[in-house]
Structure formats: C-alpha cells, structure tokens
Chains A and B, each alone.
Chain A
Amino acid sequence: MSGTALDPKVRRRRLLVRAALVLVYAGLMGLVFVRGKGHTILLDNKDSEDGAVQAIETLTVSVDGQEPIDLAAGERDQAKVQGQGHRVVITVKGQKVERRITVPLSEEMLLLSLPKLLAGVQPAVTPFVPPEAPPADDQQGQSNAFTSPADPNATPGAPSTPPAP
C-alpha cells in the first residue's frame, strides 16, 4: 500500500497465512457440505429380489430418533436424514434392534432393505433411481400442424390443439 518493497520474510509469511486461510475456508465448506447433506432413505420391508431374505410381518422403524414408522410386509415408507452416519432402530414383536448405516455422499435417494439389515445381509443400503416416465413418441403430433414437436412443455397425451376456426 505504501509503495515500499516488503521484506521477503514478511511477504512469505503473509502468503502462508493467506494460503492457510483459503485452506481453512475450503475445509469449512467441505465439512459443512458433508454434515449438512440431506438424503431420502426409503425404508423397505419387502422380500429380497433373490428371495433369500423374507419380509417381516410387522415392524416399527425409527431413523435418528425420528417419529417411529409402522410397516407391514410389502410396505415402504421414507425418512429424510442429514449427514452420512445414521442410527436405525427396528422393533419387531417388542424386541428392539439397533443398527448403524452409512449412506454415500453423492446419492440423494437410497433404498434401505430392513429385512436385509436385520439379517445382516450386505448390501442393505442401495442407491435408488426413481423410474422415469417413458419418453414421448417423437412421431406423435408430427402430422398436426398446430402442435410444435419441439415444445418441451408439451404434455404427452394431452388433447391436440383444435384447428383454428
């Protein structure tokens, strides 16, 4: 600021302090990101796909001390959680079982198979990809002069635009 050359030692120290501050800042952002990341866990009480683990007739499940949820065999519900490590408490016929699960940072929605978790079968937590609606038929509406096929807001299956009077 004054225009005089700084002592190289002071300059180096200043640079180090600034670099450290940037690192602390980035580290803090990373920490907050990891701790604050929200996930949706689908609590699934169904038979496993290979049939090795059977659904439980009735159970009550609570994630991270949230309101307990009752699930019958074949049912599914969801819990919204924050962070990576979670405590799952499952009550079956009055008997409480506590398990800890870890969810991957990058996944927004995960499927937790409660029968697998109780049986200790891995992996009990799997990423869940919601099924997407089939893409609209590109040919549909081509013959209709009043419907633009390029319109991204066009609702598939919506009635075609009536002809101009």
Chain B
Amino acid sequence: MSGKRSIGRFLREHAVILLFLTVTVLAIHPSGLSLVYIVQELITRLGRDSFLVLALLLPIYAGMGLNFGMTLGAMAGQIGLILAINYNLLGVYGLVFAALASLPVSLLMGYLCGVVLNRAKGREMVTGYILAFFVNGIYQFVVLYLMGSLIPVRSKAIVLSRGYGIRNTLNLDGVRQSLDTLLAVHAGPFVLPVATFLVIAALCVFIIWFKKTKLGQDMRAVGHDMHVADSAGVPVDRTRIIAIIISTVLATLGQIIFLQNMGNMATYNAHDQTSFFAVAAILVGGASVKKATIPNVFIGVVLLHALFVVSPGAGQKLFGEAMIGEYFRQFIGYGVIAVSLVLYAWRSRREAERLRDGLRGGPAANGGSQ
C-alpha cells in the first residue's frame, strides 16, 4: 500500500519531467536524427541557455516566483552588444565590454523592477510579464529613434539607411562564439565549449555560496514567509529588490552568452521570448513557482532542448510538414508553463486541504497523509 502511494506521489511530483521525457523519447526515432547529432546539439544548447535559466533561481528563493521581468536584463545585454558592435570590439573583449556597458542599465532596470514588484506582492509573475512589455516599448524607442540621433552611432553598418535607428538584424560576427571557442575541447565526435561551461559552473558556485551568506539566508526566510521574516527583522523589501537586481544582471550576462552563441541578433525581438523559454526550461526540469534547484536548471535545459531538436524532424516524418514541429515548440513551451502552474495550484490546494483536515483532527493529524 505504502509502495503504491510512494509511486503515486513520485508520479505526481515529477509529472512534467516524465511527460516530457516520454514525448522526447518517442519523438527521437521518427525524427531520423543520429544520437551523436542530438547530443552535440544538447551540449551547444546547454552552454547557450543554462546561464539564462540559472538567473531565475534567486527570485524563486526569495518567494517572488518565476521572474518574467528578466526580459529587462536581456534588453540591457542587447544594448551592450549594440555598443560593442558599434565600436567594432572583437572577441571576448567585445563580450566583456558589452557586459560592462550594459551593467549600469541592468542594475537600474533591476532596481525599478524590484520596486514595482514590491508594490505587487503576490502577483509578481504577471506584473513582471507586463512590466517587460512596458520596458520593451522604451527599449524600442531608444534603439529605433535615439540611437544614431541623440546617442552617437559610428558604424554605418548597424544604422538604418535613414540615418538613425538600429537595423532589424545585427551581424555579431566580431564576437560570434568567441566564448565558446575560447577553450573548445574535442572529445570524440563532440566539441565541448569548456570556457562557457566554466562560466556556468562559476555561477553555480556563486549561487551555492550565496545561499549560505546572511543575505542568502534572509532571502530564503523572505521566500518562506514574508511576515515572519519581517517580524524577525529581515528587511523584506530590500531583500526582494536585491534578488531581482541580481537576477536581472545575470539575465543580462546570460543574454550576451546566448547571442554570442547564435552569432546574430534580432534587435527588436531577440529578448521577447527570453523569459518564456527560460521559465519553460526550469519548469520542465521539475521546479515549481516556490522551489527550484540547480539540477532542475540542467535537467530542464536538456529535456526542453532535446524536444526542440527532435520535434521538427518528427513533425516532418509524422505529419509530412516540418513546420508542424516548429509550431509544436511554441505549443510545448506554453503548454509546459500552463501545466506546471496548474499542477502547482492543484498541489497547493491539496496541501491546504490536508492542513485543514489536520486541524480538524482528520487523517493528517494522525500522520495519515502521504
């Protein structure tokens, strides 16, 4: 009986991962892709996306849910890259310059986002999502009208023919894969972007260390119960703002890493789905709105991208149309977020019911719950 219950509990707790794993494994064969190709793609995408997904962890620790406001950081990163391309800065130096140039913008964005989210406690996710739309308008205004007119732009290659505004697509040839190839190691049929992995590993170490600091402990206390933390003397609002600032700065760096891997930048919409795919990845990895760990990030990135890699081929084979696979990506992304949020709400309600039963002297009070 207990075994059945534990299996049921396992299935419930890992429903999203299992669902994803099943769909991915089933899609591998029809996709017609070799295992070597799929693994190489996953290695590349692990380097490309992990940093962005890791940026979501601290706000979850602070009880602010999934930080859809990370898009603000992504926009700051893009502004840094535009400046680096404008000054024709190449290689890793170009990336470092982009990071340094975007840092003040990112800090400001993070602070503003934190202040706004503090005024919308309990509705942080939807507020962050809408805030990203609002700031997107400001970003478009700056990049489309101010750059080249008020903000000097030297490079004619990136300015629209009318003399101001940045072109729709920027070629990032100067910094393309400069981090990935900085320390590329060939292991059998695979190429490992070791430098990128080292940067990601450094961030993981930082997160582990940060959780043990006073600020990290405060963050977890705030995430557990804001009122209790406040009573205990933890500056709740300040701690939440710091969590969002760090997340925004990490999103900035993550977007720079992401774009250097891609090699080009859609100036006006590269950031649109940054938070969307990062959130989908961490949820696929088994995280929830309240709880996330570093392994959730990596499991999520691998699973989500495994499906992204195989879905166009599988769509072509099964439905005779590769575009079905492309639509499938969008569907899966939104679907995962929806399923995860529904499961989270369902679990929360069950937990509340269990606690209520416990107070009434029901099975929970006798330790009868699972």
Taking Cβ atoms with an 8 Å cutoff, the residues of A that contact B are 1, 25, 28-29, 32-33, 35-39, 80, 82, 108, 152-153
The residues of A that contact B87 with a CB separation of less than 8 Å are 33, 37
Point out the residues of chain B lying under 8 angstroms from A152, CB to CB.
161-163
Contact A33:B162 (CB < 8 A) given known A1-B235, A28-B100, A38-B174: no
Once the chains bind, are A36 and B161 in contact (CB under 8 Å)? Answer: no
Closest CB of chain A to B86's CB: distance in Å?
A: 11
Chain B residues whose C-beta falls within 8 Å of the C-beta of A32 in the assembled complex: 89, 93, 96-97, 100
Bound CA span A36–B93, Å = 5
Residue B90 is within 8 A (CB to CB) of chain A in the complex: yes
Contact A38 B163 (CB under 8 A): no
Nearest-Cβ distance from residue A156 to partner chain B, whole angstroms: 13
B 73-104 binary contact with A (CB < 8 Å = 1; else 0):
00000000000100111111110110011000
Residues in chain A near residue B97, CB distance under 8 A = 29, 32-33, 36
**What 1/0 mask marks residues of chain B from 226 to 270 whose CB sits below 8 Å from any chain A CB?**
000000000100100000000000000000000000000000000
Q: Beyond the given A32-B100, A36-B91, could you list 11 further A-B residue pairs with CB under 8 A, ordered by the A residue number? A: A28-B100, A29-B101, A32-B97, A33-B87, A33-B93, A36-B84, A36-B89, A38-B90, A82-B90, A152-B162, A152-B163
Contacts of B162 in A (CB 8 A): 152-153
Closest to B90 in A: A38
A82 and B161 contacting across the interface, CB-CB below 8 Å:
no
Secondary structure at the A interface, as helix, strand, loop or mixed, is mixed
Alpha-carbon distance A35/B94, docked complex (angstroms): 9
Contact partner of A33 (CB less than 8 A), chosen from B89, B91, B235, B238, is: B89
Chain A's closest residue to B96 (CB) is A32
Given contacts A35-B93, A36-B93, contact A108 B88 (CB under 8 A): yes
Task: Please indicate the chain B residues that have their CB under 8 angstroms from the CB of A25 in the complex.
Answer: 100
Chain B residues within an 8 Å CB radius of A33: 87, 89, 93, 97
Which residues of the other chain, B, contact A36 by a CB distance below 8 angstroms? 84, 89-94, 96-97
A38–B89 contact, CB under 8 A? yes
Docked complex Cα distance between A25 and B99 (Å): 12
Contacts of B100 in A (CB 8 A): 25, 28-29, 32
B242 → chain A closest CB, angstroms: 12
For residues 152 through 183 of chain B, which have their beta carbon under 8 Å from a beta carbon of chain A?
A: 161-163, 174
* Chain A residues in 8 Å Cβ range of B84: 36
- Encoded as 1 (CB less than 8 Å from any A CB) or 0, chain B from 111 to 127 comes to 00000000000000000
Instruction: Sample 10 A-B pairs with CB under 8 A, ordered by A number.
Output: A29-B97, A29-B100, A33-B87, A36-B84, A36-B89, A36-B90, A36-B93, A36-B97, A39-B88, A152-B162
Contact B91 A82 (CB under 8 A): yes
CA distance A152 to B161 in the complex (A): 7
CA distance A33 to B83 in the complex (A): 11
Q: What A residues does B235 contact at CB under 8 A?
A: 1
What are the residues of chain B within 8 A of A38 when measuring CB–CB? 88-90, 174
A20 to B164, CA, bound (A): 36
Min CB–CB distance B218 → chain A (angstroms):
13
Could you say which residues of chain B place their CB within 8 Å of the CB of A80? 90
Distance between A41 CB and nearest chain B CB, rounded to angstroms? 13
Complex alpha-carbon distance, A32 and B94, angstroms: 7
B261 to chain A, nearest CB (A): 18
> Who on chain B is nearest to A152 by CB?
B162
**B-chain residues with CB within 8 Å of residue A1 when the two chains form the complex:** 235, 238
Are the C-beta atoms of A37 and B161 separated by less than 8 Å?
no
Instruction: Provide the residues of chain B in CB contact with A37, threshold 8 Å.
Output: 87-90
A81 to chain B, nearest CB (A): 9
> Residue on B with the closest CB to A26?
B100
